[in-house]
A and B are shown apart, each in its own frame.
Chain A
Amino acid sequence: MCASKSNARPHSPTCHESDWHLFDASWVPIHPTRLNSLRGIRTITKHTHAGFLIMAMASRLMWASRAASYLKISTCPRAFSTVIKDLKYADTHEWVKVDGSSATIGITDHAQDHLGDVVYVELPEVGSSVNQGKNFGAVESVKATSDVISPVSGEVVEVNTELNGSPGLVNASPYEDGWILKVKLSNNGEVNSLMDSEQYSKFCEEEDAKH
């Protein structure tokens, strides 16, 4: 791969499902940030006022460590799946972001990486109920449907309708644009039974090590 510089400022976030890695040359933290894990390749895509620098794969561990520190993320270098601190995780590989009595739910980077390209997301109905440990929808990845299990119980108040036209958001941005639903929690205490980011990272490593 070669390095190139451009002063062009992108108009919108990009997510590259390729071997190209885009970084700010001076490591100036910029937004929006999107994390994408593709079979061991970690890609961080950022907007920058200063332009882009394309980094070779050989240095991914170095930048991964620095980026992770800034972005408050944990890394699983062995599995190359990403987790986000401050989220809670289920052993069925869904994440939940609690905000008072509401929560946002999606599937983790580990899950999307193992599923492959998502081509369809079956969303629940707004107003329906979800229960902890029970399936509420499914994602289709090429040949397989995989149940999505709710990590918490509550009432569905919003679903991510962007996924109808762009199911690949689940792959490209599992923790941000690829969120699946939002619920009004019926039992905040259920969150205590979920894993934090460190516990989930370890869980993923142990699960992958078994196979």
Chain B
Amino acid sequence: MALPQAIKAGLPCMNLLRMTAVPILEQLYLEERLLRSSAENWCIINHGTSLPTIVMGISGRPSELVELKPVLRDQIPVIRRFSGGGTVIIDNGTLFVSLICNKNAIPGLQPYPHPIMSWTGQLYGQVLCEFGDFHLRENDYAFNSHKFGGNAQSIIKDRWIHHTSFLWDYDARNMEYLKLPSRAPKYRSARSHVEFLCRMKDYVPSRTSFIEGTIKSLGGHFSIRPFDLDELGSLSSSLSGSTKLLTRQELEEACTSQCVAVR
């Protein structure tokens, strides 16, 4: 499908970076660098990630969020990302879409969590309403009351990022690595992971139709410019970010504290 190449008059430019199976840790490092070191708007799309990985928000504590014994047994990586929000387990069935914007990029949009969340709900609603009963439920994207998209944000002085992990497909067995969160949206109604979630592939014809629809929806607000990963070399790679892969020692210590708490 041909992308709109001409710069649309009056619309800010957004660089579109498309990746496949880039490890989530690398994606998060890249996003944090782009958020803090770039002055441009970005849309980053990554199809899947190479290994099942647990990703917690900035304040996440593995002893509270993760079933540490099986995680340690199966050597599942656990990452604490730079943005807020909850814990997800991602794999090659996850689709990532991240939006990094200058605070004035969208006229009338206040750079605060709720307005940004609402705006993205409208953006994706345009794409997904024809496929199902799409809702922005509290801070999740859902068909009816079944979540398929989890969101997180990071807002700095003049820019913000809103990134989403979409469950195109998922392995239900991986959910066993996560505890039921103590802090959950009300609409979850204490449902298990499997009862709460749904798969996008059961609603949307193809990943391509979703991605191209999203790009078209963004095209109503930005002039989209395809960008190659190789062109990013000039960005500073020395920026020390907040995203962190937890070490085995940290996970073992958390497991010990988890066991003590149970006693």
Contacts and interface: CB of A to CB of B under 8 A. Distances in A.
Query: Interface residues of B toward A: which range?
Result: 20 to 34
Contact of A210 (B108, B112, B139, B153): B108
B157 A141 contact: no
Contacts of A208: 110
Given A115-B112, A140-B58, A141-B113, A135 B157 contact: yes
A140 B156 contact: no
B110 A145 contact: no
Interface in B92-134: 108-110, 112-117
Nearest to A120: B59
Interface in B73-88: 82-86
Contact of B113 (A120, A135, A144): A144
A149 B159 CA distance: 13
A114 B155 CA distance: 12
B83 A144 contact: yes
A133 B157 CA distance: 9
Nearest to A147: B156
A127 to B, nearest CB: 18
B258 interface: no
A211 B119 CA distance: 13
Nearest to A140: B84
A149 B157 contact: yes
Contacts of B154: 144-146
Contacts of A142: 84-85, 113, 139
A175 to B, nearest CB: 20
A211 B117 CA distance: 15
B191 interface: no
B157 A140 contact: no
Contact residues of B: prevailing secondary structure:
loop
B153 A145 contact: yes
A76 interface: no
A38 interface: no
A205 interface: no
A119 B110 CA distance: 21
A143 B110 contact: no
Contacts, number: 74
A31 B197 CA distance: 49
Contacts of B25: none
Interface string B141-174: 0000000000111111100000000000000000
A193 interface: no
B70 to A, nearest CB: 26
Contact of B59 (A140, A146, A149): A140
A116 interface: yes
A158 interface: no
A116 B110 CA distance: 14
Interface string B6-44: 000000000000000000000000000000000000000
Interface in B35-59: 57-59
B263 interface: no
A155 interface: no
A39 to B, nearest CB: 10
Contacts of B153: 143-145
21 contacts: A114-B112, A115-B113, A119-B59, A119-B84, A122-B58, A133-B157, A135-B156, A140-B57, A140-B59, A142-B84, A142-B85, A143-B84, A143-B152, A144-B83, A144-B85, A145-B57, A145-B58, A145-B84, A146-B155, A207-B110, A211-B115
Given A143-B86, A145-B84, 11 more contacts: A115-B113, A135-B157, A140-B59, A142-B85, A143-B84, A143-B117, A144-B152, A145-B58, A145-B82, A147-B156, A211-B115
Interface of B: 57-59, 82-86, 108-110, 112-117, 139, 151-157, 183
